[in-house]
């Protein structure tokens, strides 16, 4: 049961709430109309009291003030241009019974591999130096050795001569009968893809030498181009 004092206070609060709501409504009417203004909000004056509809105040339009620059959206910086990698050359037009074809280019110091006419892999290589150049031509892979000793005496250069050598190598795939192989040469990785330092073989990394050993079958054509070593074939 409410006392007269409580009833009077409640009426006073109701009058104030209605005044506030009416003021908000008058502001909404005075503001510019916006098509996408949100709907009116339902406002309860106090628990148990009346619920009034108070129109939402629409957003004000952007107003340009003379002398004040408009805010601008920062432009996204464009990525810096980078030097494109050299294009992969087309597969040589040679027949293959294994589906694979190799192409060694002196101009890029790279050995490219293709399967069924499609490029699949490239590997840096170091071919023969100017003193011991690798010949150009079409060669075919022969026997393969998991590891072996390469001996200069097999082609007439004594091991103990200034140009002689006897070197242990891994993953060797023969290209010619006179001793040119594709083989792992970890000692020349820094030169592979850069310059020619071998005695005629195609030096590659151990990983790449193993890939050739594991994947390239006997009789696969390997085309060598651009060296100073003249022309030969197998």
Mean pLDDT across 180-203: 97
Please tell me which residue, 154 or 231, carries the higher pLDDT value: 231
- pLDDT (tens digit per residue) in 208-218: 999 999 999 99
| Topology of domain 100-225, CATH | L,D-transpeptidase catalytic domain-like (2.40.440)
Q: Going by C-beta distance under 8 Å and a sequence separation of 6 or more, which residues neighbour residue 7?
A: none
- pLDDT (tens digit per residue) in 34-77: 444 455 556 555 566 666 665 665 665 666 677 667 666 666 65
- pLDDT the model gives residue 63: 67
**Among 89, 101, 99, 114, residue whose Cα is nearest residue 226:** 89
Q: Which of 109, 140, 199, 201 is catalytic?
A: 201
- pLDDT the model gives residue 50: 67
Q: Going by C-beta distance under 8 Å and a sequence separation of 6 or more, which residues neighbour residue 46?
A: 13, 14, 17
Q: Which of 109, 140, 183, 199 is catalytic?
A: 183
118-124 and 202-204 strand pairing = unpaired
- pLDDT (tens digit per residue) in 2-43: 444 445 555 554 445 444 444 444 444 444 444 444 555 565
Mean pLDDT across 186-207: 97
Mean pLDDT across 163-171: 91
Q: Buried (b) or exposed (e) across 202-226, using 16+ Cβ within 10 A?
A: bbbbeebbebbbeebeeebbbbbee
Specify whether 201 is catalytic.
yes
Sign, CA dihedral 159-163-166-172, equals: negative
Specify whether 109 is catalytic.
no
Please tell me which residue, 62 or 189, carries the higher pLDDT value: 189
Contact 183, 201 (CB under 8 A): yes
- pLDDT the model gives residue 54: 58
- pLDDT the model gives residue 110: 98
Please tell me which residue, 178 or 72, carries the higher pLDDT value: 178
Under the banding of pLDDT at 50, 70 and 90, the label for residue 155 is: confident
- Specify the long-range contacts of residues 113-119, CB closer than 8 Å, at least 24 apart: 113/216, 117/91, 118/91, 119/88, 119/91
The residue assigned the tokens 């490029």 is 119
- pLDDT the model gives residue 181: 98
Under the banding of pLDDT at 50, 70 and 90, the label for residue 233 is: confident
- pLDDT (tens digit per residue) in 76-133: 655 554 556 679 999 999 999 999 999 999 999 999 999 999 999 999 999 999 999 9
Q: Where are the domains of the chain?
A: 4-54, 100-225
181-184 and 202-204 strand pairing = parallel
């Amino acid at each position: 049961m409410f006392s007269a004092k409580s009833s009077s206070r409640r009426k006073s609060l109701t009058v104030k709430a209605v005044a506030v709501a009416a003021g908000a409504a008058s502001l909404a009417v005075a503001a510019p109309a916006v098509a996408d203004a949100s709907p009116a909000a339902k406002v309860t004056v106090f628990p148990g009291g009346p619920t009034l509809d108070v129109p939402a105040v629409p957003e004000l339009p952007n107003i340009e003030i003379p002398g004040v620059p408009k805010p601008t959206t920062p432009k996204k910086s464009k990525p810096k241009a980078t030097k494109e990698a050299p294009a992969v050359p087309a597969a040589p037009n040679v027949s293959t019974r294994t589906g694979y074809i190799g192409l060694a280019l002196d101009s890029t110091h790279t050995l490219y591999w293709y399967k069924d006419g499609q490029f699949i892999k490239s590997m840096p290589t170091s071919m023969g130096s100017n003193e011991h150049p690798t010949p150009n031509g079409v060669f075919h892979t022969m026997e393969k050795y998991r590891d072996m000793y390469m001996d200069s005496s097999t082609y007439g250069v004594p091991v103990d001569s200034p140009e002689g050598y006897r070197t242990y190598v891994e993953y060797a795939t023969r290209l010619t009968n006179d001793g040119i192989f594709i083989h792992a040469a970890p000692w020349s990785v820094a030169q592979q893809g850069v310059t020619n330092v071998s005695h005629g073989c195609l030096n590659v990394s151990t990983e790449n030498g193993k890939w050739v050993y594991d994947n390239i079958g006997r009789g696969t054509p390997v085309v060598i181009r651009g060296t100073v070593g003249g022309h030969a074939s197998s």
